[in-house]
């Protein structure tokens, strides 16, 4: 699976949009971009995923660049409960051991009042 690079930490004011970047310059055409987060002492929580097109759900929006080498997770109105470590991962569509999730160091997002 392609490697991802994320900033180690970010701060965001409550109520503002949080924009979390991820670089995945070696991504292959059949690899999805996934985002999970992990709030302290809880299990990882799925947020969103995409292949080529931008995606939006009730939690967030995922913007993938046209060349797919980077993406941005957007939390439109961050709350204190969004403080967590956010993980960007890429997963091959099928074959090999694609079922094994591995998280990098992620970005610690701190939402401040």
Partner 1 sequence: GAGVSQSPSNKVTEKGKDVELRCDPISGHTALYWYRQSLGQGLEFLIYFQGNSAPDKSGLPSDRFSAERTGGSVSTLTIQRTQQEDSAVYLCASSLAVGAGKTQYFGPGTRLLVL
Helices then strands, each counted (H, E), the chain: 0, 9
Q: Is 70 left (phi over 0), alpha (psi -120 to 50) or beta?
A: beta
- The residues in 58-77 that bind partner 1, with binding defined as CB under 8 A, are none
Q: Would you count residue 5 as binding partner 1 (CB under 8 A)?
A: no
Task: Give, as one character, the DSSP assignment of residue 81.
Answer: G
Q: Would you count residue 80 as binding partner 1 (CB under 8 A)?
A: no
Q: Would you count residue 93 as binding partner 1 (CB under 8 A)?
A: yes
Options 9, 25, 46, 56; binder of partner 1; rule CB under 8 A? 46
Which token pair is 108?
A: 């610690």
Minimum CB separation of residue 103 from partner 1 in Å reads: 5
Options 44, 59, 72, 108; binder of partner 1; rule CB under 8 A? 44
Q: Would you count residue 28 as binding partner 1 (CB under 8 A)?
A: no
Q: Which residue is associated with the tokens 């079922």? A: 99
Q: Would you count residue 55 as binding partner 1 (CB under 8 A)?
A: no
Q: Is residue 54 a contact partner of residue 74, using CB atoms and an 8 Å limit?
A: no
Which token pair is 70?
A: 């980077």
What is the contact surface with partner 1 in residues (CB under 8 A)?
31-32, 34, 42-46, 49, 91-94, 97-105
């Amino acid at each position: 699976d392609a490697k991802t690079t994320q900033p180690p930490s970010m701060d965001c004011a409550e109520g503002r949009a949080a924009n979390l970047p991820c670089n995945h310059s070696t991504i292959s055409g059949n690899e999805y971009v996934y985002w999970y987060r992990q709030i302290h002492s809880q299990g990882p929580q799925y947020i969103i995923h995409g292949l080529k097109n931008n995606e939006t759900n009730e939690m967030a929006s995922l913007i993938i660049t046209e060349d797919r080498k980077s993406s941005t997770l957007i939390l439109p109105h961050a709350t204190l409960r969004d403080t967590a470590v956010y993980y960007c991962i890429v997963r091959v569509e099928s074959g090999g051991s694609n079922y094994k999730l591995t998280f990098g160091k992620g970005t610690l997002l701190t939402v401040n009042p």
